[in-house]
Amino acid sequence: MPRTTLRAAGAALLAGTLCATLAGCSGSSAADEGGRVTLRFTWWGNPDRAERTEEAVAAFEKRHPRIDVQTSYTSFEAYKQKLATQAAGGDVPDVVQLDYRQISQYAGSGVLLDLDEQQRALPTDEMDRTLVRTGKYEGTQYALPMGLGTQVLAYDAKVWRKAGAEPPKPGWTWDDLLTALRKVARVHEGPVFTDIAWNEDWFELWLRGHGKSLYKGHGELGFTAADLARFWEFSSKLRRAGLTSPARETTQIDGAVENTPLGRNKTVAEFNWDAPSAGYEEIVGDGLRLGPFPSVHKGEADQYFKPSMLVGIAANSAHPREAAQFIDFLLNSGRAADILGVDRGLPVNERQRARVLPKLSGFERTLAKANESVAGLVKPPPAAPPRGDIALQSTFGRDYDHVAFEKASARQVAEDYITEVKSELRDQ
């Protein structure tokens, strides 16, 4: 009898240990030990950004020895999925990096903290007003921009010069771009430009030039299947002419700069956002330049400035004040501005921006110049896209695959896409 009791107890103990181990896996956030505070900070990016971010975090921890910041990062695609899952499980990290396209999803769901509650720890009065507004959702400040970014044409200036092509300049048009590309094609073998039509971001600018937008009002579509078909037919013409990358190159684009045709040295020019273009440097070398995005009408700019990314605090964070202090350090302090440079775009704090810009060199200087050159021309950014848009972004590229591989006509795929958009927006 005592023997069996002992055995039962042993088994129970074993089971107990197993449970404890399992529970340990789920990971509780921020345990207080003698006044120490642990913050979790997640973001997306590349190894270069990781290095700078870690350095900034170390500087913060030195200034606040009581606070420990644990960081983790992934690529953007994986980040989107991870954060959504964490949000569903009520386990959002204390400090999270967010995309402009994620704001409406998260802000409207009670996942993010109202930052006005932490205004003392996180003042915003030195920040760019219009940019700060992009972190608002229905009147509440849920996030703050981490940097200012814009769309650019990344190109190899050496090849451009060799061809005698006109370099991009503010106010230039799509026609100017085509003229330049044709010249470049004469001296460069193979496609010279990366297909433009896989990315909804570039379609958006093309729409802007034609006086339209992706969305209008509350989750209503701002364009028709005919608009999209025209854009895709335009890109298909360039592709068939051999000017732009073939489908089997374009389809390999996955969000990482090193997998784009320009990043793999298959073309000599490509559209991108300014901050991630730093990744081209390794492939293209010192010929890399960033030019303004072409516009539909001469002398205008269809591109716009938007927050390259935003940052927010989890509503259920146990340490909102410390989280606010951390964000304050990242966005407002000179120390962080010196370390981070323009890695996440131009600094949002205007005092820091004025201080940092003259000190830049190399690619960072190119980036800053590309921003400055269009500053007088750009119009305000569109409102944050509605919920559901984040999924449509990837659907857009996948649908274009069918056009690029000539599996279906542009018109037909455009109509499919409109159907998908409508169903997506209806479900939200």
Partner 1 sequence: MTPPATASTPAAPRPTKRAPGRRLGRQPVREREGAAWVFLSPWVLGAAVLTLAPMVISLYLSFTDYNLFDAPSWVGLRNYVQMFTEDPRLLRSVGNTLLYVVIAVPLQLALALVVALALKSLRRGQGFYRSAFYAPSLLGASMSIALVWRALFNDGGTVDDLLGRLGVHTGGWINQPGYALLAVALLTVWQFGAPMVIFLAGLQQIPQELYEAAAVDGAGRWRQFRSVTLPMLSPVVFFNLVLQTIQAFQVFTPAFAISGGRGGPADSTLFYTLYLYDRGFTASHMGYASAMAWVLLLAIGLVTAVLFRTSRAWVFYAGEEARS
Q: Provide the binding-site residues for partner 1, judged by CB under 8 A.
A: 3-4, 7-8, 11-12, 14-15, 18-19, 77, 80-81, 84-85, 87-88, 105-106, 108-109, 111, 247-249, 251-252, 254, 387-388, 390-391, 394, 397-398, 401-402, 404-405, 407, 416, 419-420, 423-424, 427-428
Q: How far is the CB of 218 from partner 1 (least distance, A)?
A: 17
Distance CA 290, CA 276 (A): 11
Q: Which is nearer to partner 1, 78 or 354 (CB)?
A: 78
Q: How far is the CB of 408 from partner 1 (least distance, A)?
A: 9
Q: Which is nearer to partner 1, 94 or 424 (CB)?
A: 424
Q: How far is the CB of 254 from partner 1 (least distance, A)?
A: 4
Q: Which is nearer to partner 1, 71 or 395 (CB)?
A: 395
Distance CA 147, CA 275 (A): 9
Q: Which is nearer to partner 1, 25 or 31 (CB)?
A: 25
Q: How far is the CB of 297 from partner 1 (least distance, A)?
A: 34
Q: How far is the CB of 1 from partner 1 (least distance, A)?
A: 8
Q: Which is nearer to partner 1, 88 or 226 (CB)?
A: 88
Q: Which is nearer to partner 1, 15 or 58 (CB)?
A: 15
Q: Which is nearer to partner 1, 87 or 143 (CB)?
A: 87
**Strands laid side by side in the 95-98 sheet:** 67-74, 37-44, 95-98, 306-313, 143-149
Q: Which is nearer to partner 1, 163 or 247 (CB)?
A: 247
Q: How far is the CB of 73 from partner 1 (least distance, A)?
A: 18
Q: How far is the CB of 191 from partner 1 (least distance, A)?
A: 13
Q: Which is nearer to partner 1, 18 or 354 (CB)?
A: 18
Q: How far is the CB of 143 from partner 1 (least distance, A)?
A: 16
Q: How far is the CB of 74 from partner 1 (least distance, A)?
A: 12
